Structure 1
């Protein structure tokens, strides 16, 4: 019988752990990396709370798998691992199985397996259970699973623990629920938090939350006993803070060769990639900052003969799994990915990582380049910064930050409904607060973590707990982000060692110059762009035209906002004979080519409307090209435009120019009869603001009724698509046979 944790001599524990390590690795000669056994000993022998910050490939998963098995041998129950991504969970379950660890995961992708997994836990037949942080906010999991797991919990593991900290509040707010979970744990349950990306600020934040309600179990050594710090030059620093055992190792990666290549525009960046992608060894990842950039880059590379695929937040779950397998098995040269392919993706022989555009922080960059060079091979890492990077950083930062106005509006709506005994779903909240759905979901999670709201079976309720908007916290987060963005710009410009720069940003002061990056040695990458690649890049980025899919359903809740027609609510399907055809926009604002030009135009116009001016010749010609390439079934005979309160000259000149060029009847603008200038808010409010916003002048109505033409409907910017939906309905009711929407720009 194995001795209970806390009583087994360290030599016996080491022998048992080493035997399991040999099984885990399949190598009878394997030995612990410096610091690995110390972490296992802190967890198993002393039931400590531990934070391990070690570089990718050091073996953090070995620490928690071995500790879980040792705890199981001592009679403890299942180990619960909170893990952020499905791809990471799948890899961890596969790795556990190879090591003889009985592991399962509970998430939205395997609902049909939940009953059998619950039966395994009840029968004490499971060693490790992996969940996403969202499970902690799920009423069924809190009420039905946790009461069975916690009384005999072997260990709690928080993987990618940096997500707890402020900088990741908008990535996974539910990570902050872990503090509440920790407070519910029985005395003596060890806790392990792991990450490869944490500076000292994040370390202290995580350590503080791990120390929630912590105390030394009866009979256990006081902090520091039996845990002598290891030598920093060998395995990093080991110390205790807030009753938490912290093991920080060196974060430099000898297997990575870093470089930065500054090129003037997206055409040259894509041209360089078309020229040189084949020279990279093995297969790898090409990161971009936006979904459309990833899709456009993948399309251009495929057209040039490269076997690549796009991997983004729009990629279906099943397809993601297949693409991950294709990359791991070297069936593709590269995946062109957004940050959707990130933490936890494990391919030991990943040969390269290229960034078309820089992430907004050195921490995020280190996380992504850490996918490469994890095995015995070396890997090349190259950053091609974009002139548009800072605009994209600002867009995402602004979109994700809760505002005081939105948060109070949401909470007041919940309080009112809760007082009436009525939980509210997210769609129901959309009809009560003018906030976009993704922002509502984020706000609900933030408020739930802070105790102001609670998710129940039929929606969300207000708890009644006192709550105030933490303006200082969000100001601190915003300032931190600005500092991290500036650090990323400094990385691009530095003349010192790039690996040392990244390590210093993560507060690893032991880092020495790597001797192989483009500043330590010399640029290791070619800089030429061949003519064929340059021409192909120009062709890909000046290509014009993206589809605008028509809306098919009215949003739920219009009746609540007083929107109806002839006394009847607008709900359900929009009649097919009142919908527009599939439309076109010149480009998305996030596109690599025309998107750069349009982003500059629309950002300036939003901020300073007085610069509104007629459309420029180059944009006009590009729009004409979209019409020339549009394979419509019915050629338009007339042009109508939706008046813009922000860009009236731009929109009028675009519509008039298309009418003249296409020899179409210029019917002019719709007449605005109520305020439709609604640039923010959610789908329900946008629809309500536009559905009765315009009327057609009598002259236009007469023409439509007599000629029943196909109409080209022109607008400057398409976002929610409710403006073109409402205008189409009006035109068709007046007699138009078909409506073809056309926009200068689309946000999606």
Structure 2
């Protein structure tokens, strides 16, 4: 493939310049609007006709409007100009519901350039909330940005929100596709916006904006915007999604080694700086590490990255001090860098709509930007994992409502975990949906049932799930497409103006090469073949275990705690993960450990760096893979010349079907797992002869409670230290 065209000069990063011929007179209000736009985006900026239509609808007609326009079109200019005009009329501040801190930071910076005083309320600035409330009350704030999670914080919802809603001059819902559960990035917290809109006084205009909404999502959001409104229509302004600077391409490579090699070889040749997206946290971290080893200036960026580190990484990319951020979708909506030169995906997102949103970050202020997708065979497995986070079955939801209804007072999520078998993140998501539906309410101390009638909308949940499956099939069609890629994406978003772009690899016939340098491939293979990831020990028992008849609380005593363990790899790794997912799949046969995996475990042990060498090996009992676990423990003992001490055991044949959350899983294994007399005797004998740590071997670690309880049993039986060792650990 030829070297990509160098980027051109950037245009203003708040509002792209339009042709002066597009500017039409609109009276004194439009002249004032143009003045405010120039303050925001420069002397040459002019309002697009749809921008002016939206501003006039908000300021003159006090309407509710939905603007669906591509990234970089100038949606933020609409609400900042409307804010300036409304404030000049004596209206209250604009309240913007905004999903991400990165987006808030960019919006505040843009507002300040136009002389608009902006403040934010989010989880990272709690110490400033009271001062911000005071400034709002004194009329010294023009724009208040609020994260959607704040809308159901009990104190904010009950004390602050009513005053804000009553005094707002304009309400803005940014990234409004999040409101709709048909959207690719549905967020339950966003659904609470409907309640906010319902309670607004008459005449308060509302603007919703998004760059990624097909017809179904557009209709759903427009309908929700009407909550409490005195007129039955939302003004919908929808424009072309064409991005003339984006050059789309797909490069299909055979394996993770080839994809990493490709990145190391081609990324330095693409002009400018950009983003490398991965599907999982572990893939982002490992890819960033490899590219750094190859001499590239890159930084990882995930939802698990410390907030201050995320801010520093964003600033480094904005200032072009790094070639790329290697990121999960945590770096998405709202990241504003007009001269972003490329977006490369290491693995395909679940939908063309999500993909379009992410590649849309690039090329806003340059003549050409590269958007290259490197799909992986494991992508579908990762999609299936995330699909498992869908809305729970009706029986589970009804059980939750009954538990809350029968409780003496509010129940925290931690206490609910002892009664409802859902992982915490999925339980929290379910509660948020039930809150929006009016069935539960978040209060100080936790959650309560409202007693309001509630219907499990099975048809809707099934339809949403089916829509997700269609999106995944469409993403596979995009990868295999032999027609224009940009036209394909635009049609997925129901863009009526979708036409052949003439720029993508299919249109031009110029494809990225898939051959990789043998030296780089070896470096990538060596990197991915490095085994070993830490397993952090549990330090605290779950809350409310007495509810399950287990008298455990507070910190796990030091003398019973496991040491830091090791796993061969994470199930989500791009290296060992592929092999581990195959071995540990539900339908995989239970068989002795194969030689390649065993040698990987040996290398983990060799690189461990423990203070005291282990003296013995104990196997965990396994109901699903007894042959694999027993063989792994025996082979480790043989190769390491360690004492084979046998296995822990279950009282009654096993704990039964695996529970999903920490509290219930701990109750299962605590009541069943034992160190029998024979094991205890062998352990005492080896400790008398050669004191030292014991390896506790299992196939995988999920919640970590089996290993925690097993370690406590062995510590009670006399082991001075217990080091967990597994093939796999779950991870992001």
Correspondence 1:477 to 2:460 = no
The answer on whether the counterparts of 1:211 and 1:243 sit within 8 Å (CA) in structure 2 is yes
* Alpha-carbon separation, structure 2, partners of 1:438 and 1:209: 26
The C-alpha deviation readout for 1:194-248, integer Å capped at 9, x for no partner, is 00001000011011111223224xxxxxxxxxxxxxxxxxxxxxxxxx5111111
The residue aligned with 1:553 is: 540
Correspondence 1:579 to 2:561 = yes
Correspondence 1:296 to 2:293 = no
Q: 1:616 aligns with which of 594, 603, 621?
A: 594
Count of aligned residue pairs for this structure pair: 702
Q: 2:364 aligns with which of 374, 377, 384?
A: 374
The residue aligned with 1:499 is: 486
Correspondence 1:740 to 2:723 = yes
Correspondence 1:516 to 2:503 = yes
Q: Report matched runs for 1:596-635 at 5 Å.
A: 596-603=578-585, 606=586, 608=587, 611-635=589-613
* Alpha-carbon separation, structure 1, partners of 2:39 and 2:695: 69
Q: Give the superposition deviation at 1:376.
A: 3.4
SS at match of 1:80: strand
The residue aligned with 1:695 is: 674
TM-score (norm 2): 0.94
SS at match of 1:124: coil
Q: Give the superposition deviation at 1:677.
A: 4.1
The residue aligned with 2:396 is: 406
SS at match of 2:286: helix
Q: 2:190 aligns with which of 164, 175, 195?
A: 175
The C-alpha deviation readout for 1:37-71, integer Å capped at 9, x for no partner, is 11111111111111111111110000010011111
* Alpha-carbon separation, structure 1, partners of 2:317 and 2:521: 27
* Alpha-carbon separation, structure 2, partners of 1:123 and 1:144: 17
The residue aligned with 1:534 is: 521
* Alpha-carbon separation, structure 2, partners of 1:646 and 1:697: 21
SS at match of 2:507: coil
Q: 1:45 aligns with which of 60, 81, 84?
A: 60
* Alpha-carbon separation, structure 1, partners of 2:724 and 2:446: 37
SS at match of 1:635: coil
Q: Give the superposition deviation at 1:405.
A: 2.8
The residue aligned with 1:116 is: 131
The residue aligned with 2:571 is: 589
The residue aligned with 1:426 is: 413
The residue aligned with 2:18 is: none
The answer on whether the counterparts of 1:259 and 1:523 sit within 8 Å (CA) in structure 2 is no
* Alpha-carbon separation, structure 1, partners of 2:471 and 2:605: 43
SS at match of 1:35: helix
* Alpha-carbon separation, structure 2, partners of 1:147 and 1:199: 33
SS at match of 2:321: coil
* Alpha-carbon separation, structure 2, partners of 1:498 and 1:680: 44
* Alpha-carbon separation, structure 2, partners of 1:395 and 1:442: 16
Q: 1:155 aligns with which of 170, 190, 196?
A: 170
The answer on whether the counterparts of 2:282 and 2:573 sit within 8 Å (CA) in structure 1 is yes
Greater shift, 349-358 or 119-128, is seen at 119-128
The answer on whether the counterparts of 1:692 and 1:726 sit within 8 Å (CA) in structure 2 is no
The answer on whether the counterparts of 2:617 and 2:697 sit within 8 Å (CA) in structure 1 is yes
* Alpha-carbon separation, structure 1, partners of 2:722 and 2:183: 44
The answer on whether the counterparts of 1:159 and 1:194 sit within 8 Å (CA) in structure 2 is yes
Q: Give the superposition deviation at 1:108.
A: 1.0
The 1:170/1:253 distance shift into structure 2, 3 A limit, reads closer
The answer on whether the counterparts of 1:10 and 1:41 sit within 8 Å (CA) in structure 2 is no
The answer on whether the counterparts of 1:170 and 1:400 sit within 8 Å (CA) in structure 2 is no
Q: Give the superposition deviation at 1:168.
A: 4.6
The answer on whether the counterparts of 2:252 and 2:374 sit within 8 Å (CA) in structure 1 is yes
* Alpha-carbon separation, structure 1, partners of 2:394 and 2:592: 38
* Alpha-carbon separation, structure 1, partners of 2:53 and 2:702: 55
Q: Give the superposition deviation at 1:130.
A: 0.8
The residue aligned with 1:220 is: none
Correspondence 1:17 to 2:4 = no
Q: Give the superposition deviation at 1:539.
A: 0.7
Correspondence 1:71 to 2:86 = yes
Q: Give the superposition deviation at 1:712.
A: 1.4
The answer on whether the counterparts of 2:177 and 2:186 sit within 8 Å (CA) in structure 1 is no
SS at match of 1:691: helix
The answer on whether the counterparts of 2:391 and 2:430 sit within 8 Å (CA) in structure 1 is no
SS at match of 2:275: strand
The residue aligned with 2:260 is: 270
The answer on whether the counterparts of 1:310 and 1:337 sit within 8 Å (CA) in structure 2 is yes
Q: Give the superposition deviation at 1:524.
A: 5.0
Q: Give the superposition deviation at 1:13.
A: 1.3
* Alpha-carbon separation, structure 2, partners of 1:626 and 1:570: 33
The C-alpha deviation readout for 1:509-559, integer Å capped at 9, x for no partner, is 212211111001022533331122101110111110111111111122122
Greater shift, 718-727 or 625-634, is seen at 625-634
The answer on whether the counterparts of 2:251 and 2:513 sit within 8 Å (CA) in structure 1 is no
Correspondence 1:685 to 2:664 = yes
SS at match of 2:447: strand
The residue aligned with 2:626 is: 648
* Alpha-carbon separation, structure 1, partners of 2:333 and 2:281: 18
Question: Structure 1 regions of 5+ residues with no counterpart?
Answer: 1-8, 217-241, 564-568
RMSD: 1.5
SS at match of 2:508: coil
Q: Report matched runs for 1:48-197 at 5 Å.
A: 48-168=63-183, 171-197=186-212
* Alpha-carbon separation, structure 2, partners of 1:130 and 1:333: 31
Q: 1:31 aligns with which of 46, 54, 77?
A: 46
The residue aligned with 2:444 is: 457
Correspondence 1:362 to 2:352 = yes
Q: Give the superposition deviation at 1:409.
A: 2.0
SS at match of 1:211: coil
Greater shift, 635-644 or 147-156, is seen at 147-156
* Alpha-carbon separation, structure 1, partners of 2:169 and 2:435: 27
The C-alpha deviation readout for 1:287-332, integer Å capped at 9, x for no partner, is 0000000001011111111111110111011111111001101111
SS at match of 2:456: coil
* Alpha-carbon separation, structure 2, partners of 1:667 and 1:744: 19
Q: 2:316 aligns with which of 302, 306, 326?
A: 326
TM-score (norm 1): 0.92
Q: Give the superposition deviation at 1:10.
A: 4.5
Question: Structure 2 regions of 5+ residues with no counterpart?
Answer: 1-24
The answer on whether the counterparts of 1:351 and 1:377 sit within 8 Å (CA) in structure 2 is no
The answer on whether the counterparts of 2:179 and 2:186 sit within 8 Å (CA) in structure 1 is no
Correspondence 1:712 to 2:699 = no
The answer on whether the counterparts of 1:349 and 1:377 sit within 8 Å (CA) in structure 2 is no
* Alpha-carbon separation, structure 1, partners of 2:157 and 2:531: 50
Greater shift, 144-153 or 265-274, is seen at 144-153
Q: Give the superposition deviation at 1:169.
A: 8.5
